[in-house]
Amino acid sequence: MAAHILDRVPERESLERRATDLLRRLIRFDTVSPPGNERPAQEFLRTLLEPAGFECELLGVVPERPNLVARLRGPADGPRLCLLGHIDTVLADPGEWSVDPWAGELGGGCVWGRGALDMKGQVAAETAAALGLVEEGWRPEAGELLLVFTCDEETGATYGARWLCEEEPDRVRCDFVVNEGAGAVMEFGGRRAYGVCVAEKGVFRFTLTTSGSAGHASLPRIGDNALVKMAPVLGALGDGPTQYVRSPEPAALLATLGLDGDDLEATMGAIQSSDPRFAALVEPMLGVTLTPTMIAASEKINVIPSRSELHVDCRVPPELGEEVARRAIHATLGDDGYDVRFTECVAGNRSPADTPLMDRIRAFMTREDPYAHVTPVVLQGFSDSHWWRRAFPECVAYGFFPQRAMDAVEAMSLFHAVDERVPVADLGLAASCYAELAVETLR
Ligand SMILES: [Zn+2]
């Protein structure tokens, strides 16, 4: 089995070189969203994939923001494997960075720049894997290899994955998706584990309002200041106990790390005292998060506000709904003194954890890092996988970008942050993984 794979997957060194070069070029396309302006980057990728035999389509709502769908068909019917990525990034303030965020610099064994981790690095690794395989003469024996690079992931997928899955389902329908979400090594208590993101939390954003009565600001006791009433609310949201909710993915992770999954409070206490940064990564997986992000009150400096509005970004474990969010709010804030109005409700979804795709990922990682484990995890945030699971209930969508040179805590701290970078060794590792998944799935 191993010999068969190693015969056909291109050498690590050449994959690493190609993925590194590709990533540096992709970073130089400014695809900060909004406005995104992803077209030049998508056309660049098309000029690589089309001559290699991929049928390429640029599909979109507006000309400046197309999605790229590239397809390599095998001679017989079979499974469809989609290597997925988004080409847009969040913004960067060059003044805060130690390098130019759009230069694609190479230094200290890493490619630096906005999008290196989120997620042009994975797009580069997926493209390098596909091109490397084709150059070695590989074609799917059965089924199809799809490369889908979306626009507009960072601001809601209106032009990107959501639109593609809802409006062009026949172009992107598939059986397996490999996307972003997890894969960097987690180390705790002497154990090492690679997470495969099989599920995402839901988004339940709400506006919390406090009310009082207006008055002249020179007479502070005359009015009833709605803004001051936010102080205990903010305090409770900042310090409140986590509202734990049991779900299978964190249970699997804790078991893999040799931790008690029954007493979540005690377990989190133990993680917190030995590794606070790892705790910050794990805790949101275990329940509902309530994060206040925006606040508004009086529009006049000399008027005591009769009303104050706080916007809270709330995330709920997969497949659960508004009632779970409401329960967490009440447990944290009590029942009185505020009103809550939900403004955005999208329940998270999941794929089964026991699938041939998981087996193939496990087989690859076990060869790469024999003493490490592979475990399902839930993403604390949201990704394009959501739209594939929703549109195609049979589709298994996982987030997996394996990283061994950079661990999960460091990777997480660089997402959307200053000096984002990815080790070239991890680009090679990921490209090898994707090449192997294609060979093993499409036969
Ligand atoms: Zn992303």
* pLDDT tens per residue, range 10-48: 899 999 999 999 999 999 999 999 999 999 999 999 999
* Amino acid 4: pLDDT: 54
Tokens of 409: 């805590």
Amino acid found at 92: A
The CA 384 to ligand 1 mean position distance, Å, reads 8
pTM of the model: 0.94
139-174 pLDDT, tens digit per residue, is: 999 999 999 999 999 988 899 999 999 999 999 999
**Which residue is catalytic, options 16, 30, 38, 88?**
88
**Which residue is catalytic, options 16, 152, 153, 384?**
153
Q: At what angle do helices 12-27 and 39-49 cross, to 10 degrees?
A: 150
Catalytic, 153? Answer yes
pLDDT at 239 over 80: yes
Residue with structure tokens 């794990």? Answer: 282
| Helix ranges, 157-247 (H) | 161-167, 169-172, 230-239
Catalytic, 88? Answer yes
The CA 200 to ligand 1 mean position distance, Å, reads 13
The long-range contacts involving 109-113, CB below 8 angstroms and separated by at least 24 positions, are: 109/405, 109/423, 109/424, 109/425, 110/421, 110/422, 110/423, 110/424, 111/20, 111/23, 111/24, 111/27, 111/421, 111/422, 111/424, 111/427, 112/419, 112/420, 112/421, 113/24, 113/27, 113/420, 113/421
The CA 9 to ligand 1 mean position distance, Å, reads 27
264-283 pLDDT, tens digit per residue, is: 999 999 999 999 999 999 99
Tokens of 89: 């990034």
- Which three-class secondary structure state does DSSP give residue 309? strand
Q: DSSP code of 350?
A: B
The CA 283 to ligand 1 mean position distance, Å, reads 20
Report the distance separating Cα 183 and Cα 364, nearest Å: 12
The CA 24 to ligand 1 mean position distance, Å, reads 17
Find residue 350's DSSP bridge partners.
Answer: 199
pLDDT at 2 over 70: no
The CA 223 to ligand 1 mean position distance, Å, reads 46
